[in-house]
Chain A
């Protein structure tokens, strides 16, 4: 049996929620699907140790009040059986959803770059640690080092500190000059400026990056390059993320064109594929405000209200300006591509070391020879890492897009994946 909807939205973060709310007054039948149990995305992830802003709670209430919007949590996209159809799976069942319009709001993931010791338990992403803490991970009394790049480092440290962790260091790879330049621009977006003042920490050091995570079976400390000097800091956790990578996999698999490693969209947030829209971080990193307004534009456009969509263009331009300043300031130092030792694992699923990859000339050749990118994450972590380390372009994913149960794949019987 195929479920038919007018508008299917993949991803219930700021972009997806705003897309659903913008499209809802049309009365069309809308499904909002997310692989997390609750809507909110990463920024508004709920949990026993999360403190949701009132804006997020209000949006969730508005969403629940829309009778024509159905929220499908804990549901993943597995395959594309035919044009305008997706095979999806939750913990109970697998089924096919047919749609007239699709809005991709698949967000971004952290850029996790390999360095010696990064596979040790105790090392997480920066946003990763924040997400785990919101879900109830106890960190009280733990010594935490945060490293990598971008404003997410401060947000992650703030969550950890609020839950009782001791933040020993926040190592930002961008130079003091770049960070200071960014700070002087911030008052142009007063809300962001206030946010940054609330998050500021005395442990923050620009011009600093991780060299290695230390320990045998578990993280015991971290070696940092701190403003030109090597420092070792004993700690219990290292939260390390180097910015964000747009989640383009599903868009690519459906045939949407990419631009600058993000899903390419026009002024209506329409992708290169008819009836397929994209909004938020999967179209390029810009923060939750930009994602929200892009989501609203996509929702209006998909529901056929061009005038309402167009009214939001100036607002989008304003936040695109913020995104441009942000991305310039936190551009990655080329030194970060040289952190691996020969035996540092780059592919964590198949345990492929740096030395085994360095001899290959592209992603496909490396994959065939070493199994890099062929494990459970299907290259989502090492694909982005090797793009940064070697400049390789990972190939478009093939179904199943996510590990799936056999019963779910059997739904493809009579609907072989295109």
Chain B
């Protein structure tokens, strides 16, 4: 198992778990707020739609194409 922090909450996940899955385990699975104020969650699951962009260890990354790592800090976008 790996331990990471998602929006301030610490959780353990299996090796190979995507950050998109970890976001759903830690909360409501939402990743960002759209330009008109709607909350959004991963859509395509394969790196096309960019809905799942979040901040991972300070950099903007796609949650669906990033595997969780020990000590990772994930923040959804307000």
Contact = CB atoms under 8 A, between A and B. Distances in A.
Interface of A: 35-37, 42, 46-48, 74, 91, 109-110, 112, 119, 121-125, 127-132, 135-138, 217-218, 345, 348-351, 375-377, 380-381, 403, 405
A138 B40 CA distance: 18
Secondary structure dominating the interface of B: loop
Given A47-B18, A348-B34, A37 B41 contact: no
B45 A403 contact: no
B44 to A, nearest CB: 5
A381 B49 CA distance: 6
A135 B47 CA distance: 13
A375 B30 CA distance: 19
A130 B18 CA distance: 13
Contacts of A349: 35, 50
B17 interface: yes
B15 A135 contact: no
A155 B15 CA distance: 24
B39 A121 contact: yes
Interface of B: 13-18, 20-22, 24-25, 28-30, 34-36, 38-51, 53, 59-61, 64-67
A377 B43 CA distance: 12
B50 A136 contact: no
Contact of A129 (B13, B45, B53): B45
A109 B48 contact: yes
Given A48-B15, A138-B21, A376 B65 contact: no
B47 to A, nearest CB: 5
A128 B59 CA distance: 24
9 contacts: A47-B16, A128-B44, A131-B46, A136-B18, A136-B25, A348-B34, A348-B43, A350-B35, A351-B34
Given A35-B65, A37-B66, A217 B20 contact: no
Given A37-B65, A350-B35, A403 B50 contact: yes
Contacts of B66: 37, 74, 91
Contacts of B59: 91, 405
A91 B67 CA distance: 12
B46 to A, nearest CB: 5
A130 B60 CA distance: 24
Contact of B48 (A135, A137, A381): A381
B42 A128 contact: yes
